[in-house]
Amino acid sequence: MDVSSCDVLVVGGGAAGLRAAIAIAEANLNLRVAVISKVYPMRSHTVSAEGGAAAVIKPNDSLDEHAYDTISGGDWLCDQDAVEAFVNEAPVEMLRLEHWGCPWSRQPDGRVAVRSFGGMKVERTWFAADKTGFHMLHSLFQTTLKYEAIQRYDECFVTKLLVEKGRCQGVVAIEVATGKILAITAKAVILATGGCGKVFPFTTNGAIKTGDGMALAYRAGAPLKDMEFVQYHPTGLPLTGILITEATRSEGGWLLNKDGYRYLQDYDLGKPQPKPVLRSMELGPRDRLSQAFVKEQAKGRTLEGPYGHYVHLDIRHLGEKLIDKKLPFVRALCRKYVNLDPVKEMIPVRPVVHYMMGGIHTDIYGATPLPGLYAAGEAACVSINGANRLGSNSLTECLVFGARAGQAAAAFAAEQKETNPAISAQARDEQRRLEESFLRKTDGKERIAPLREEMHKNMEACAGIYRTGAELKRAAQVLRGLQDRFHDLQLDDRSYTFNTELTAALELSFMLDVAEGIVASAFARQESRGSHQRTDHPQRDDDKFLAHSLAYRSPEGPPRIEHLPVTITRWPPGQRVYGK
């Protein structure tokens, strides 16, 4: 076992984690900052984000418009104080990234260009062609290299948070290359590990999105908030789930059913116009578009292929020149993965799990209820995303709340004395657990893949776009059964060197915890709001559920659910109106 220490430890090297690390390095020159990630930072899933990042910068826009689009998009479940802080700080955070070299797409006069996105009344999405997340991540990562205070633990997999005397004081991790156990003590820890799309079988998320940070916090006693809100992006490629960015629609793409009809007009999203209209039709919010697909399928008006039902995304009328300039990655992805050229052919698409509105419960400074523990980015739930995140808010959220969590954690760390030596005993216990439960275990009968497949099947069947209480109850029982079977797991790989079967087992265990949080929260919410649609409770119920769900771990059995009122400042709950 290897013991080391730092002042603030950031878990995760994507946009939120790297932004936090820089914020700490700049806030207090005396603090030792470290970023620990199970992958090299430039592999983090921020890299896959395509369309853009929202921030008010144009004279025809306003902070209130951004706030209203976000709050109505979130079906009034957003905390409005958080949203106000977010829209206020978004422009300066985006400018900072411009100063750090992010290659934003530009207007002819050299100013940053913006495009529209779904659910947005005024164009405010900054973009770097259609590889925005990739460029943001690499700009941030390369910028971190100039800070000597930022140390890295690359390819180190965190297995446990060290909590002593009611305070988070570090982590235990496996150095993947060697299998060595690391005990890293810290005065504050920030979880920025991203989402958990891999809980579902069909997702835009990369293999690494297994809810690690969410499960780590949950196991340490911090609650998970609003986990029932799972965003389906309306346009993923069948089979692979590769994302076809919303920017295709903001540039003027159409969604067509099997008859070539723009079916969204039948779902209260406005009437088709030749040019894109903001907050209308194809530029409606993601939850409503994904729900319309399911209804269209029920009417028998979708197409059917080897990988399930789909509709067509048509961008042919945009022309080759625009597609190559603004959507080159979409063209490349289509050519590579579905063997067609969107300049000449329509793209087959279907809804695909994309983003978790829920996450680790934090306040607007990124602090969780567990002292010393902070969270930011998709792993966290502040909440600015409510019941449905507005497209292009998540990348900006990583910057704004990454910076906020970094500053708050730095201030907290500066006030703490040295960490408690008793935690090395905890780290030794964790090492023993990993040896006994996985590496030295010989009597197990279960394998990883079948358990994972069963979790997938169960989540897709019971916790998808439309849900019922009865199905969710069944899903909860299946997950309990999988938790039991997990204890009987047997690995093929006993090696200490780069053992990816061990990390896959730990990821599966994290995902099972997170899946239980999703299902229990969805069961308790007996209403329909945003992305959470209960066919047995089809209406929004503000009397009972204008409140966040908090899922707490209970020692045995499924999570305990509590509710916490939503913070309303200036926008009383109203109807979500699109296409008017």
Query: What CA–CA distances, in Å, run from 545 to 382, 555, 564?
Result: 18, 26, 9
**Chosen residue from 59, 108, 166, 572 binding another protein by CB under 8 A:** 108
Residue partners of 145: CB distance under 8 A and separation at least 6: none
At residue 194's C-alpha, the angle toward residues 245 and 2, to 5°, is 145
Give the CB-side neighbour count of residue 306, counting CA atoms within 13 A.
3
Q: E strand or H helix at 548, and its extent?
A: strand 547-552
289-348 positions binding another protein, by CB under 8 A? 329, 332-333, 336-337
Does 448 help bind another protein (rule: CB under 8 A)?
A: yes
CB of 141 to another protein, least distance (A): 9
3-state secondary structure 258-294: CCCCCHHHHHCCCCCCCCCCCCCHHHCCHHHHHHHHH
440: tokens are 């030295």
465-494 positions binding another protein, by CB under 8 A? 491-493
What's the length of the chain?
Answer: 580
- In the bound state with another protein, the residue whose beta carbon lies nearer, of 508 and 518, is 508
Q: Please name the amino acid found at residue 525.
A: R
**Chosen residue from 4, 26, 42, 68 binding another protein by CB under 8 A:** 42
Does 449 help bind another protein (rule: CB under 8 A)?
A: yes
Under 8 Å between Cβ of 236 and 229: no
CB of 449 to another protein, least distance (A): 4
110-169 positions binding another protein, by CB under 8 A? 110-112, 131, 134-135, 138, 142-143, 145-146, 154
Site string for another protein, 384-423 (x = CB under 8 A): ----------------------------------------
**Chosen residue from 39, 83, 191, 215 binding another protein by CB under 8 A:** 39
- In the bound state with another protein, the residue whose beta carbon lies nearer, of 229 and 329, is 329
Q: Please name the amino acid found at residue 561.
A: I
Stretch of 44-52, 310-318, 433-441, 564-572 contacting another protein, by CB under 8 A: 44-52
- In the bound state with another protein, the residue whose beta carbon lies nearer, of 332 and 470, is 332
Count of residues of this chain found to bind another protein when the rule CB under 8 A is applied? 61
**Cα 233 to Cα 245: distance, rounded to the nearest angstrom:** 9
Stretch of 17-25, 43-51, 77-85, 461-469 contacting another protein, by CB under 8 A: 43-51
**Chosen residue from 103, 221, 252, 371 binding another protein by CB under 8 A:** 103
Q: Catalytic amino acids?
A: 233, 249
80-99 positions binding another protein, by CB under 8 A? 92, 95-96, 98-99
Does 48 help bind another protein (rule: CB under 8 A)?
A: yes
**Chosen residue from 442, 497, 539, 575 binding another protein by CB under 8 A:** 497
Does 47 help bind another protein (rule: CB under 8 A)?
A: yes
202: tokens are 């069909």
**Through-space distance between the first and last CA atoms of the chain, rounded to whole angstroms:** 62
CB of 339 to another protein, least distance (A): 9
Does 19 help bind another protein (rule: CB under 8 A)?
A: no
Tell me how crowded residue 527 is: count the other CB atoms within 10 A of its CB. Answer: 18
- In the bound state with another protein, the residue whose beta carbon lies nearer, of 288 and 354, is 354
Does 200 help bind another protein (rule: CB under 8 A)?
A: no
Residue partners of 336: CB distance under 8 A and separation at least 6: none
Token pair 């048509």: residue:
314
Does 454 help bind another protein (rule: CB under 8 A)?
A: no
3-state secondary structure at position 360 = strand
Instruction: Please classify residue 538 by burial: count the beta carbons closer than 10 Å to its beta carbon, then call 0-12 exposed, 13-18 middle and 19+ buried.
Output: exposed
- In the bound state with another protein, the residue whose beta carbon lies nearer, of 103 and 371, is 103
Q: E strand or H helix at 313, and its extent?
A: strand 308-314
Short-list 560, 433, 443, CA closest to 509 = 433
**Chosen residue from 26, 65, 100, 295 binding another protein by CB under 8 A:** 100
CB of 145 to another protein, least distance (A): 5
Q: Can you point out the beta strands (E) in 146-229?
A: 150-153, 156-164, 167-175, 180-185, 188-191, 224-225
Q: Is the peptide bond before 521 cis (omega within 30 degrees of 0)?
A: no
DSSP 517: H
- In the bound state with another protein, the residue whose beta carbon lies nearer, of 36 and 522, is 36
DSSP 117: -
Q: Is the dihedral of CA 538, 542, 547, 550 positive or negative?
A: negative
Does 239 help bind another protein (rule: CB under 8 A)?
A: yes
Strands laid side by side in the 547-552 sheet = 380-381, 359-361, 224-225, 547-552, 560-565
Token pair 């009809």: residue:
261
CB of 181 to another protein, least distance (A): 16
Does 63 help bind another protein (rule: CB under 8 A)?
A: no
Does 577 help bind another protein (rule: CB under 8 A)?
A: no
Does 354 help bind another protein (rule: CB under 8 A)?
A: no
What is the binding site for another protein (CB under 8 A)? Answer: 39-40, 42-45, 47-48, 92, 95-96, 98-101, 103-112, 131, 134-135, 138, 142-143, 145-146, 154, 177, 206-208, 239-240, 242-243, 329, 332-333, 336-337, 447-449, 491-493, 495-501, 504
